[in-house]
Structures are given as C-alpha cells and as structure tokens.
Structure 1
Amino acid sequence: MKRKTNEQIKEELRAIYAGHDGEIPDMTRLETREGSRLTRFLVRTILALGILSVVAWGGFFVWSRGGIGPSRPLETSSDAADGVRSGQEAFYTFRYENGGNAPIASLEATLSLPADFVLTSTNPAPTDETTLTWTIGSLARGSDGSITIGGVFRSEVPSTQTIQTLFTYRPGNFSSDFQSIETVSVNIEDSVLDATISGPEKALPGDEVAYVVNVQNTSADEATNVLVSLMAPEEFTITGAEPTTDETGTNAWTFNSLAPGELKAITVNGRYTSSAEGERSVGARVAFVNEQRMEFPQTEATTTTDVVGGDVAFGLVVNGKSSDQTVDPGDTLRASIDYANNGNETIRGLAFVLVLSGDAATLPIDWARANIGGAVRSGNTLTWDDTAVPAFKEFSPSDSGVIDLSLPIVSDLRAGTSNAVVFSLSATLDQIGAIESPRTIDASPITALVNSDFQSSAHAEYYTADGEAIGTGPLPPVVGQTTTYRVVWRVANSFHLLEGLRMTTNLPPKVAWTGKTTAEIGTVSFDETTRIVTWSVPSLPISIPGAEATFGVAVTPEESDVGAFYKLTNAIAVEAKDTFTKDQVSNGIDILTTELPEDEEAAGKGVVTK
C-alpha cells in the first residue's frame, strides 16, 4: 500500500473538520454549553427524595432497636401452678405491663379455655362473662396489672392442656391495633380419683364369685360426675351388683358427687361360663364425664382370677359358630350341645336347660317343624335331664355326648315377632362323687338376628293384566322386525327398614333400551357404556310393603335366532342393607326371555319365527 504524504493527510482532515468558511477550528479551546433547567431540577429532586428515604428508614431501625422506644410496648407474662392434678382446683395469673415510652390508649384481654376446664373464680371479674373478656382501657407508661383465674381441669390422664390469653392494644402514638398472645401449658399426669379392685385368686366355672371396686376422691375438693366401668371378660356373667348399674345390661355406675376424701364401694357378683379357663383379668376404669357423656379417663385398676377347668365341660354352637350371627327368614338354625365329664368322679343329677328368648314374646321359630333333640319343651325353654338323657343320672368320668336340634325360622314375619333368637344354655348338677355340690354353669349366650323378609321378583310382558297391549311389533317376534316388551321389577319388605336398595341387570348386546321407565319409588337408569340397568331406592321403610319399577326393551331377531326364545335380560342381582341387623341382604333372579310365562295373552308366542 502506498504511503500518504503530509499534504494528503491535511486535505483529508480539512474535508472532515472544516467549517462553512473552509477553516479548521482551534481544537485547543473547547466551550461548555449551559445545560437544561428541567434536567437540573429533576436531578436535585431525586437527590432530595433519596436523602428523605435514608432518614425515614434510619428512624425505623432506630425505633425498632430501642433507640427511641421498644417494638412491643406491651409486655406479658404468666404464672402457673406446679403438679396440677385432674380434678383439683389450681390458679393461673396473666400479667401485663406498659414498658414503652408512650401510653397505651386502649387494652383488652380475652381468655380462651379448653373444653375440659371448669372455671371457678376470676380476679378481677371479666367485663363480659360470656366471652371472658376484660376491657382494661388505657395504660400509662410503666403501669402494669394482672388477671388471676382459678379452675379445675377434668382432663384425660396423662395429657397436656393449654390456656391462652389474647391481649389487644393500641399505643397512644399509633392509629391501629396490635395483639399479643400469652400461653400457659399444663402437664396433667395424675388425678384426684383413685381406684382399686379385689376378687378371688381362683374360681370354678359356675361358682358364684364377687369382685369389689373401691373408688376414692383423694382431694380436698368435691369431685362431680364420676363414671366407673367394669371391664370383665366375655365368659363372666354378672348376676347382681350393689349399687345397681346405671342401666340394665351395662357395667357402668355414675356418681354425681364424691365429697372430699369420700370412698365408694361397688360389689359385683357373677359366674364364669363353661368356656372360661386359665387366668382372666377383671378391671375397673374411672373417668370424668361431661354433659354430653364424653369420657375423660382418670385411672384404672385390675385383678386376675385363675379359672380352673370344671368337671363338666360343655359348649354351644349355632350354625357352625359359637358367636353372634344373622339368619334369613325361611332358613334353619341348627344348634349342637357337646358335653363331657373331664373329672375323676361321677356326676349325678346333670341337666341342660336351653332358654330361647328375644325382644318380643313371639319368637320367629316354626315349632311344628322343629327338631328339639328329645328335650322337654315348656314354651321357649328346652330341658334335657335324666328322663331325656338317661346317662345324666350318673354321668361317669370320660363320658361325652352331643345333642343336636334344628329350629326353622318362619318365612312370614308378622308384626310383634321378635327380631332375634337368643340362645342361653346352662348346665345344672347336684353331686360330684360323694360330695353334694349343687351348682349352675352358664355357657356364653349366642344371638341370632333375623334379617328382614326382603323379597324380589322380575318378569317381562307384552300385555297388561287387563289384556291391554303395552308392547309393539309382531308377536311372536319375527326375523328382521322389531318387537318391544316391558320388564317389570318388584320388591317386597315388611320387617326392617332397608337402605341402599339396588336392583341391577346387564342387557344383552342385541337388546335395545327404549328409554321408557317408571318407578313407584327411587329411580331407574341405564348406562349405555356398560349396558347396566339399575333401579336405586335410597330407603325402603316398612310403611311401604312393596314397590314396582318398569323399563322398556326392543329386539330385532336375526336368522340365527329362529326357533328359540330371545333373551331380554341377563341375570338380575338385588341387594340392600338391613338397618337393624346391619347385614347386607341379597337376592338373585334368573334371565328373562320372550317366553313371558306370567303374560297369559302372550303365552306360547315367545319363539322367534321367520
């Protein structure tokens, strides 16, 4: 590249920097132009706002760090009693103080108590006793005060309870409210109620035994609404109690009041059944109860009795089970009594007594068809003594046997019939060996709850009972032509309330749903995807002894269907819940076809023709 001369460089610079007069300006002297007034104003404003922001934030941090005043001018604290026992009165103090540099314009305190705390005293009295609110008002700098409450925790042992006080206040130099919560946690690990239980160390099945429960209020205050419950094994049958229980059939006693130091004794008499053997625990549970009968357990006590196997061993089984069960109307209760002499002595005067009972005088048993196994029957009591079983006169060691009986349940359950059959079996004996030892030994009772007399039926029809055609198309059905039918479902029930009744079926692929439905109760629906027809009845009371639902179907036979009945529905399933027995009752119904056996007008017109 050719190097430029000095003259050439000057000419190029002149072309760039020369003015209108062709002269190059003096670059050694530069003049400054005065800026815009608006720009200067904006810059100064931004600087001023920045300084104010720094001052404001600085003041905030100084205030919050105590340079001007504390961030929480109201200071709170609390005092709680130590070793609080459930059922014993204790006191709690909530303190407040204005530790700030400005007065507090308004102050209010609201107390929050757990449900199992009984308030006995307050100092001072609350402004609003319903909400337990104290309106304290203004509070000068350095002033303080306190609220003291007394009360009784009737809480479960062990447990942790909390009492809270919400303070709402407004400092004099603020226009908004602030809040502070003071919480007291109380650990309850003991109770004022104490309990003991005593009973025999050993017992034989059938022997009368007694257990004594002692409950004492160990505090200096009255204890109210105390519940005592006996926890006994299933094989223990209570024959009496002093004092009597709250209600028949319950093992509970309620004492409205126990004075300071007062002791209450409960004596429970009973017998162990034939199935009891080995160590059995009997206990007593003590609790406070509130108005809603909610229990707050306080203490428990237990004792152990060794039940020694007796000479007579026997048991009761109903329909293969020794526990409670359900039975359907028309079914049979089959019971077996097995017995044996497990001792080394001959037993004399042995007899078995089976008492059948229920919640009504009339039992749902068909006595005309019953097999009572050779017993002597007196009403609902069956007895097997040495006249019915000669071996019972002198029942030798190692002898054994079985008594079988069957009790049919009636199908027609009428009003006033018992909802259950309770089997209560006992054995009596007069003498073991040379020792006269009259005693009665009970077996654990078995209850058979009777399900409702729920029935269902289904049929298809072309004509009504009056001969009116409700179907359409040819009859008998013809290949290539459409015939419609009505399917009728019925349910009947008169013994117990049923809930969640559902009757369902699946339509065959070539059967069409017409959409025509009726229902005296509940609703009929069809799922096009699953092709399931459902009749749903949420509740079927005994005031409605029967109900009906219908729906329409259509068929168009093909050549392959000629000479046979055409299937209209698949098998039908029916289920519902018996609200008394809690059992799920169910029925099953076979498929429906164009045979129409219940339609007299359509009889003999169900086979598909060409």
Structure 2
Amino acid sequence: MSLKEIEGKIYKREGETPQDKKATGNSPSLTEKNESPFAPTFFKTEEAKKNGVWIKEDEEKKAKKKKVVKIAAISASVLVLLSGLVWGALYIRKSSFSEDKVTISISGPEEIQSGDMVTLEINYKNENRASLKDAVIDISYSENFKPLDNLNLESGGPNSSRHNVGTIEGKSDGKFELRGKFFGTKGLLTYINVKLQYSSSNFSSQFEAEAKHGMTISSSPLEIEVIGPQSVSSGGAVTFLVKYRNAGQQVFRDLKMKADLPADFTVTTSEPLPASGGNIWYVGDLEGQGSGELKISGVLAGQPQETKQFKFALGEIGSDDFIAYNETSKSIKVIGVAVALTQTINDKKDALLVNTGDNLNFKIKFRNVSDTALKDLILTEEISSPALDYGSYRDSSGSQGALDSNKGIISWKAPGLEKLRALNPGEEGELSFSVKIKDKVPVSSAKDKNFSFTAICRIESPDIPTPEGENKIVSGNGIAVKLNSKIIVREEGYYNDAEISNTGPLPPKVGEETTFAIHLKAENISNDITDAKIVVTLAPNVSWKDNFLPKDANIDYNDRTDEVVWNIGSLPAGVGTITDPKETIFQIGLNPSANFVGQYPKLLKSTVFSAKDSFTGQNLEAKLGEKDTNLTEDLSVGSSGMVTQ
C-alpha cells in the first residue's frame, strides 16, 4: 500500500480529506502534533469536553464584560442627568434672588427749622421673584432728633428705632413714615440712617440694604443775646446779661443754658445759680414767645490786647454731650490800665461768705499808673442785692458818696472827693464805707433763696487813653458775696399736750415721775441745706420714754450720753417762712430729788441744730441753752412747775 493510500485512509477516518488538510495549511496544529493516530477514543472525548468548558468560560467572561460596560454607561448617563438637574435648580434658584434687587430709601426735606415737626418717608422694594423673610428696618439718628407719634416703631435705644416688616413678597414694595423734631443750631447738618436686614426664602444667609438722608437746620426759633463790655483791664470785673427768647409758638421743654468760658475767667456769682458743673444753668420750659435772662459776674485775667471768647448755648443735656438748639458768642479784649483800682470787703479781696446781720466794711484804693494826668474822675461801686440794708449805709471816710438805693450804686466825684478832680501820674486816693446785711432777708416764695451779689468798683475819666471807639471805664476787682442760710431751732414743753398724754403729779413731787411732751421745730430761711440734725441733751433726773411723733421720724437715743438725736436730712429754703416748720414731739419723764424742792428743775441741758449749706458749702449751727419746768408756753402749768415735797 502506497503512502498516499495510507494517508487517505487516515483522513477518511477523521472525516477529513487531503484537500481539507491542504486548505488548513501544511503546518500541523499543536493538537495534531501531540495526537497520536493510534490514541484510544476515550482520550479524544475528554479533550473535547475540556475544549467545551474553555469556550463556555470565555463566553461568560465576555458577557460579564458587556454587562459592566452597560452598567457604567447607564451610571454615567444618570450622573450627567443629575448634574444637569442640580445645575438647572441652582440656576433657577440664583436667578430668582439677587441682593442688588432689594433696595431701601428715605425721602424728606433737605432744609428744616429747629424744633419743627418733620415727616420722612422710608420706602423698601423687593424686585426678586423670591420673597424676603424676617425683614426688619433699623433707624439710627443723632441725639438732636426726637421721634414723635410713631406707633409703627419700637425703641431700639436712646438714638435708634426699629420697624418690624416680616415677610416681603417677591415683586412687591412697602413704605412707612418717620415723624419727629430736629433741634440744633443754624447750619447744622444732621442725618437719618436706615438699614434693612433680611434673609431670602431660598437662602439661609443674612443680607442688608442701607440708605441715609441729610438735612440742614436753616434757622432756630430760640434767640440769644449777650450784653457785656467790649474790653476790660486784666483782673477786672465783668458782668454778662444773657437774654433768651422763644420766637416760635411751640413749647421747648427742660432747657438749659451752657456757657463755655475762658480758663482765665472766674465766676464770682450768677443769677440764677448754676445747676451743675459751674457752667450750666437750668432754664426749664420756655413757652412760645416766652423769654428770660441770666446774669453772670466774674473776674477776667489776661495779657494786654488779648481777646477772650465767651460762648453761650441754649439746649439740653444729651447722654454724651450738650445738644445746642442755638448759640452765640461774645468777645472781650483785655486792655492795659491807666488806673490801678482795688477794693476789699472786711479786709478780703476774694469771695466772701456772710450771715444775716453782718456789717460789710469796704475800702477802695485807686492810683494813676499812666504818664498822663487824669481829670474829672467818677468812681462808682455797684452793690445791688435785696439782702442789703441800704438804710445802714455809712460813708466813714467823709468822701460824700451818693447812694442810689433803687439801683444799688454808690457814686463819688469832686468836690466830695477832691482827689477825683485831678489825679496826676503816680498819685493815689482811698475811700471807705460800710453797709449791713439785713437781719431778716425777704423770703416770700420758693424763688427767694441763694442770696448773693458781686461788688464791682469802676472808675472813669475822659483822659483815660484808650483806642478810638472804646469806653474809658476801668473796672476793679469784683468780690462775690454770698449769704449763708439762717437756721433756727425752737423748743416748747407741755404737760397738757394735744398729741401726747402725760401723767404724774403737777407740781412735780420728789420721788414721783411726771412726764412732759417736748416740741422741736426746725426752720431754714434762705438756702437749701443738707445733713440737718438736732441733738438734745437731757438733764439729770430726766429719762427717755421712747414715745415720739411722727412715728416715722428718724430719732435715736443714746442712754450713755443722754442725747436725743433727730436726723432731719435735707431741708429746702423757706421752711418756717413760706411753709410750716419741720416738727417732732417726744416724751420725757422727770423724777426730781429732794434738792430740787422749791426750784424749777432742768428738763434739757442743751439743744444744737446743725446742717450744711448747699449754696455756700458752709457748716451752719444754731444753739439753745437750758430748759426747765417753768413752761410759760403751757398756760396750764405756769408756776406749778416748781417741785414740792
């Protein structure tokens, strides 16, 4: 058998022709190389099974790969879709709100008059589609603005208010009015500031919108006029008369006058007295067309040709500073002197505190310090006060001064005082006089208190060299005189008393107790006083019964010193003159010993009334001596106060 026949049989068994073999190529496969033509059929079957498993696994891998790719594609699509939705939502949300589309504004006059009612309109607008929530409008202003009749506002503090808006719908607006009065000086620029605070319905953040409106005060109905000298010599006395007036119709409440004074100016006295700080005076309510005045006296020092500025403002005291409704200024030039002029009162050049009944001794000296003779001089002394007894005036130097008691001015000239006819350079002169303080100053109302005056001496001559247009009057040193208040204590004793019932024998008997009611009365004449108290020392054989009226009186008893202390505290001026005296009643007991038989035994050893004067700062005191059982004020006792056996 030939080789071709053998090959044909082999391929025939395998179901393959030689042509098929050729078609697959001449290179045998790996299977063909390892396969033996004589291998058993069992091995061929196992091999086929393995080949099937491999094919199946490969197909499963391919299927899983396709599934993963498909899932990834779906996820990517979903992610893109979600991103689009989020971006779209954000875009829509953002486009529905813009901070620039929320505005607030104020409209109102640009010029106003101090004290006039002003109405301002506050507008707010939301041009967004989204609504605004928790919206509030804060309004701030200076202290010179007083809100009035704003029922839609609540206070946010001394200089602020708040308007609660709540929700502002989209594409909507609103407005409200702010009413009030501005106070200030002419030309003052003042502002109202508003701030809208809110959050958007689609944002949690807080947003703000602000605006402000400025107004200029064009005029004020309050007028101030200051009358005073244009010039004064250094160390000379100066008196200002400050007049104020309300030219409008409305009332200005609780006004004060503030004076900004040079450091070289010393206030000696003023009418009325300053309320606080020495440079603020209380004016009170000033009705429409109402007016008043303030008088300030003092001494001004400085260098020749130096100008001193004085400023006076009418207004109110704010939380931080004084708020001026109107103000004016006055300037005074310090000039060199041709005449040195000085005075003393009771040998003092400075402020003097006096009591009722005191005698005031004045001495005035003058000397020509220029190089020019001065002729026809006139010397005057101003001492104007209702507390002075002009009837007591005495010219102790024989200078023949003329007193004008209506004006409170004394004048001297030649020939009464010959030195005033001609005063050569370096020449000097002197005069003296006296006047008393009244024993009882006139007090008929609550305004009659704090009596004071400034004694001012002046000298003038047509020959005094001064710049053209300026006066030829030289002022001397001013001396402020203040009157201390007079305090009075009165005491009375009663057996038959309308308020406290007493017991025991009358006349008093040895070894038996008889009680008495003691009445203490405190009076204060012309100034307010503080720290007032009355100390009563009981006599021997007298006991404290701890029974007093009124029951709320501040009374203490010290059994170690036998002192009864009535702590009064403060007492206004006029107690005992324009009002009833301050009074207390307390009960004491007398148990006389045998050595008092036929005598009026002492009930009280001493009584001392002390206080501090609020006007002068002086400590005041009034004393009473012993008081015994000879109670003349109790007509039912009379001579029956004498002790019997």
Aligned counterparts of 1:498 and 1:523: Cα–Cα separation in 2: 22
Work out the CA distance in 1 between the residues paired with 2:153 and 2:583: 60
Which is richer in helix?
A: 2
Q: 1:527 is matched by which residue type in structure 2?
A: D
Match of 2:414 in 1: 386
SS, match of residue 356 in structure 2: coil
Cα deviation 1:364-406 (Å, max 9, x = unaligned)? 3152464554332243232222323323333233333443322
Equivalent residue number for residue 405 of structure 1: 433
User: What SS does structure 1 have at the residue aligned with 2:516?
Assistant: strand
1:399/1:383 CA distance change after superposition, 3 Å: same
Residue in structure 2 matching 1:514, options 537, 545, 558: 545
Q: Is the 8 A contact 1:163 1:183 kept in 2?
A: yes
Q: CA–CA distance in 2 between the matches of 1:323 and 1:294?
A: 31
| Equivalent position of 2:488 in the other structure | 455
Tell me how far 1:354 sits from its aligned partner: 1.6
Cα deviation for residue 353 of structure 1 reads 1.3
Alignment of 1:6-45 (within 5 A): none
Match of 2:626 among 589, 592, 598: 592
Following superposition, the deviation at residue 135 of structure 1 comes to 5.4
Aligned to 2:291: none
2:358 matches 1:331:
yes
d(CA) in 1 for partners of 2:232 and 2:617? Answer: 38
- The equivalent of 2:588 in structure 1 is 553
Q: Distance in 2 between matches of 1:284 and 1:542?
A: 39
Q: 1:301 Cα shift?
A: 9.7
Letter in 1 for 2:565: V
Alignment partner, residue 520 of structure 2: 489
The equivalent of 2:608 in structure 1 is: 572
Letter in 2 for 1:554: G
With over 3 angstroms needed to count, the CA separation of the structure-2 counterparts of 1:461 and 1:305, relative to structure 1, is: same
Pair 1:503–1:304, CA change in 2 (3 A): closer
Residue identity matched to 2:402: R
1:423 maps to amino acid:
A
1:343 to 341, 351, 370: 370
Tell me if structure 2 keeps the 8 A contact 1:283–1:301: yes
User: Aligned residue for 1:241?
Assistant: none
Listed one character per residue, the Cα deviations across residues 329-353 of structure 1 (whole Å, up to 9, x for unaligned) are 2122332322222233433323311
Is 1:283 the counterpart of 2:283 in the alignment? no
Note closer, same or farther for the CA distance 1:585–1:542 as it changes in structure 2 (3 Å cut). Answer: farther
Aligned residue identity for 1:311: A
Query: Counterpart in 1 of 2:81?
Result: none
Alpha-carbon deviation of 1:534?
A: 1.3
Q: C-alpha separation between the residues in 1 aligned to 2:565 and 2:412?
A: 55
Task: Tell me, yes or no, if the aligned pair for 1:105 and 1:137 is still in contact at 8 Å.
Answer: yes
Partner letter of residue 110 of structure 1? I
Matches within 5 A, 1:142-157: none
Which amino acid is the alignment partner of residue 555 of structure 2?
F
Measured on the aligned residues, the alpha-carbon RMSD in Å equals: 6.6
**Corresponding residue of 1:16:** none
SS in 2 for 1:391: helix
Task: Give the deviation of 1:115 after TM superposition.
Answer: 3.6
Which of the residues 289, 307, 310 maps onto 2:335? 307
What letter corresponds to residue 352 of structure 1 in structure 2? L
Would the aligned equivalents of 2:340 and 2:476 in 1 still touch at CA under 8 Å? no
TM-score (norm 1): 0.52
- Structure 2: runs of 5+ lacking an equivalent: 1-89, 113-119, 155-160, 220-228, 237-256, 268-280, 282-297
Q: What is the deviation of 1:147?
A: 9.5
Could you tell me whether the CA contact under 8 Å between 1:502 and 1:575 is conserved in 2? Answer: yes
8 Å CA contact retained: 1:112, 1:163: yes
| Structure 2 counterpart of 1:376, one-letter code | G
Secondary structure in 1 aligned to 2:419? helix
CA distance in 1, matches of 2:304, 2:175: 59
User: Could you say if the C-alpha distance between residues 297 and 307 of structure 1 is closer, same or farther in structure 2, counting changes exceeding 3 Å?
Assistant: farther
Cα displacement (A) at 1:107: 6.2
Match for residue 578 of structure 2 among 518, 521, 543 = 543
Distance change (3 Å), C-alpha of 1:553 and 1:168 = farther
Structure 1 distance, partners of 2:455, 2:258, is 30
CA distance in 2, matches of 1:453, 1:372: 29
Q: Could you tell me which runs of 5 or more consecutive residues in structure 1 were left unpaired when the two chains were aligned.
A: 1-65, 120-125, 194-199, 208-226, 237-249, 251-271
Q: Give yes or no for contact 1:155–1:296 (8 Å, CA) kept in 2.
A: yes
**Displacement, 1:499?**
6.2
Equivalences, count: 452
Rg bigger for which structure? Answer: 2
Distance 1:543 1:114, change over 3 A: same
TM-score (norm 2): 0.50
Counting aligned pairs with the same residue, the percent is: 12
